Amino acid sequence: MPSEITPREVWRERRRFVQTGVAALAAAALPGPAGAGHGGRRLAFRPAPGPFRTDEPPTPFKHVAGYNNFYEFGTDKYSPAERAASLRTEPWSVTVEGACEKPGTYTLEDILRPHPLEERIYRLRCVEGWSMVIPWVGFPLADLLRRFAPTSQAKYVEFTTLYDPEQMPGQRRRVLDWPYVEGLRMDEAMHPLTILAVGLYGEVLPNQNGAPLRLVVPWKYGFKSIKSIVRIRFTERQPLTSWMKASPREYGFYANVNPTVDHPRWSQARERRIGEFFKRKTLMFNGYAEQVAHLYRGMNLRQHF
């Protein structure tokens, strides 16, 4: 309901406060507890300009942190928040492989050190028909990928989630072929809208939202936004992603928000913003068509769904 939305002046005041706090690296490198937020570890960041923000009011934090898709902790929307305390985010490292000149294993501190954090208010649209508006804190994925010097053979970039059934009890069930794998075409990965997020609402990511490092690609359905990343691999061939492997008829590689292409079991023409009663019209590319439509010029978007 509208009364549940955090007033804009409240989170703006919080932003001014955290910008005068500790350095972004020191804060972002610390793991947040499951359910962090409104009392979690704060981050220093700067507001991002222009197309990296929307004037739509952010979804209340309780919904952002309490209603999630994260099958590693369960297949219903509430299990991740209830079960994600078992995830240990310190220490954390990411292995970089494939067609690049600087492969290796990098700690979270290594990854974050050169990158000032920004707050970007992006829409998130899930394939099931619900959506949110989230104030993410992160940095451009392109800035990180350039550090690894991808070669001319790098046409795609593949991401992999942590596989540890002890920490992630949902992985004890063969709902998917674990670990979770996602991928982007290189031009998608290098687009300035694509970010790696380490926080939301000015605080370190809650475990259930993908701590400590997750992808955010705002013009694609939410399942492209892989969480708890431990591996990045540059490849010449299109990766076989987890949902493509599980159900290729329902989930394509591109996963662009396209209201004219229905999921085989439901329409994508309308969506319900969490906290609202009435549905709204789904926007092409989730409202980011002006920024990203050129990436798919000449492609049949019904075939490449």
- Rounded to the nearest angstrom, the gap between the alpha carbon of residue 15 and the centroid of all alpha carbons in its chain is 21
**Domain contains 59:** yes
Residue 301 falls within a domain, yes or no?
A: no
Kindly list the averaged pLDDT for each block of 10 residues, start to end, along the chain of length 305.
36 36 37 45 91 91 97 97 97 98 98 95 97 98 98 98 98 97 98 98 98 98 98 98 96 97 95 95 97 97 94
- 304 part of a folded domain: no
* DSSP letters for 188-249: HHTSTT-EEEEEETTEEPPGGGTTT-EEE-TTBBGGGS--SEEEEEEESS----HHHHH-TT
Domain assignment present for residue 303? The answer is: no
Backbone angles phi, psi at 217, to 5 degrees: -125, 95
Is 231 a domain residue? yes
Question: What pLDDT was estimated at residue 8?
Answer: 39
Does any domain span residue 182?
yes
Neighbours of 290 (CB within 10 A): 9
Q: Which domain CATH number covers 106?
A: 3.90.420.10
In this structure, which amino acid lies at residue 118? E
Q: What distance, in Å, lies between the first and last C-alpha atoms of the chain?
A: 33
Q: How far is CA 261 from CA 216, 277, 281, 288, in A?
A: 22, 24, 14, 17
Confidence (pLDDT) at 51: 78
* pLDDT for residue 40: 76
Q: Is residue 186 part of a domain?
A: yes
Helix (H) or strand (E) holding 22: none
> Would you give the DSSP letter of residue 78?
S
In whole angstroms, give the CA distance from residue 5 to residue 53: 17
Query: Please, which residues have CB within 8 angstroms of residue 76's CB and are 6 or more apart in sequence?
Result: none
Whether 177 and 243 have beta carbons less than 8 Å apart is answered as no
Tokens of 184: 């982007």
pLDDT score recorded for residue 68: 95
Q: Of 96, 104, 99, which Cα lies nearest the Cα of 155?
A: 99
Q: Are 209 and 144 in contact (CB under 8 A)?
A: no
Whole-model pTM over 0.95: no
**281: buried, middle or exposed (CB in 10 Å: 19+, 13-18, 0-12)?**
exposed
Q: How many domains does the chain have?
A: 1
pLDDT score recorded for residue 287: 97
* Domain with 182 in it: 2-296
**What pLDDT does 136 receive?**
98
State the pLDDT at residue 97.
Answer: 98
Please name the residue that has the structure tokens 């209201």: 259
Identify the CA nearest to 203 among candidates 21, 9, 79: 21
